[in-house]
Structure 1
Amino acid sequence: MTGPILRYITYWPVNLVFVLLSYLLSPALAALSLLTGPRLPGILQWFSTLDADLDGGIGQGVKGYHADLTGWRLWWQRTCWICRNPAHGWQSRLLGMPASGTIIIEQQISEAPKNQWYVMETAKGRFFCFKRDQPLFGGFYLKIWLGWVNKAYDGQNHHYAFQIAPKRTKT
């Protein structure tokens, strides 16, 4: 298991650069999208999600995302979407593991608190996924995702994940 962990740690600085660039460029990328449409052109799409356009929150039913916005409000909503999903394209295409031929070697899931652990293998090698919902206080929990996401959202790659974020308790 040393190989995947070493690869994960090696990718972390590059991932951090892409995520920070996504945050910094999000206002300009959202402004460009007002001219080009909800899907960023070419490689710029890598600053957002590959499985949804910049209006993805609408189609996915994310609370607070609206279909009838224009102008500044649409620009802000798209800026927020990029910041909510920073660099997912880079994390999938550049840092990701191929989905084709993925075999789950090990899977452990517990419910209280919710933990998920996967070890998977492809022709490119072994990789892992760790997810935990750590209960906090006042209806919040800490969402922790490390490794490569066990689901290939774009159908091609398991994207690199480094996410530690507070969330409201699921209902």
Structure 2
Amino acid sequence: MVWSALLYIVYLPANIAFVLLSYALSPLLAGLSLLTGPKLPGVLRWFSTLDADLDGGVGQRVMGYKAALTGWRLWWQRTCWICRNPAHGWQSELLGMPAAGSIIVRQVISETPKNQWYVMETAKGVRFFCFKRDQPLFGGYYLKVWLGWVNKAYDGRNHHYAFQIGPKRA
């Protein structure tokens, strides 16, 4: 467990760089997607999610994402989707922990305030962690804090690295 905490800290600068690069490139990547389709080609896909295309908000009924957009509106929606899920591909493929054979060793969940703590173990016996908290703020908003590696392998292959701190609407 100490090893994964140190690894998490070592990965933090690379993660921040990938996320900032995703934000900076999001308008260009969204523009490219208008030519190539809702899935970016090759490694460019790593700037967004691996488990959904750039129109993922539509299929997931995310508030504010509308179906059948074209032109500038489609470009804007895809730009926003990349910014909503920056660098998830990098976080999974390069910084992630392998999901195959991994198990949850310990799980603690509380509702008030909403906290989740997981200790997981890869098939090779490497332990890693996930901490999630929704800290109530005001007006139906929360501060969403995710640290460690996400407890679910959204792409089916890796638990992606998570350093997410930001507002969330209830």
1:20-169 equivalences under 5 Å are 20-122=20-122, 123=124, 125-169=126-170
2:71 & 2:141 partners in 1: Cα distance? Answer: 33
Contact 1:97 1:124 in 2 (8 A): no
Deviation, 1:16, is: 0.5
Secondary structure of the corresponding residue to residue 131 of structure 1:
strand
1:124 & 1:22 partners in 2: Cα distance? Answer: 32
Contact 1:105 1:118 in 2 (8 A): yes
Identity %: 79
Query: Which range moves more in the overlay, 118-127 or 87-96?
Result: 118-127
2:105 maps to amino acid: I
Quote the RMSD (CA, aligned, Å). Answer: 0.8
Contact 1:31 1:75 in 2 (8 A): yes
2:141 & 2:62 partners in 1: Cα distance? Answer: 18
Query: Which range moves more in the overlay, 75-84 or 116-125?
Result: 116-125
1:98 & 1:124 partners in 2: Cα distance? Answer: 11
TM (normalized to structure 2)?
0.97
1:70 & 1:137 partners in 2: Cα distance? Answer: 36
1:110 & 1:65 partners in 2: Cα distance? Answer: 31
Deviation, 1:66, is: 1.2
Aligned pair in 2 of structure 1 residues 104, 124: CA closer, same or farther (>3 Å)?
Answer: same
1:91 maps to amino acid: Q
Q: How many residues align?
A: 169
Deviation, 1:114, is: 0.7
Offset from partner CA, 1:71-97 (integer Å, 9 cap, x none) = 111000000000000000000000000
1:138 & 1:59 partners in 2: Cα distance? Answer: 27
Deviation, 1:105, is: 1.1
Secondary structure of the corresponding residue to residue 153 of structure 2:
coil
Secondary structure of the corresponding residue to residue 19 of structure 1:
helix
Deviation, 1:124, is: 6.4
In structure 2, the gaps of 5 or more residues are none
Contact 1:135 1:141 in 2 (8 A): yes
Displacement over 2 Å in runs of 4+: none
2:146 maps to amino acid: W
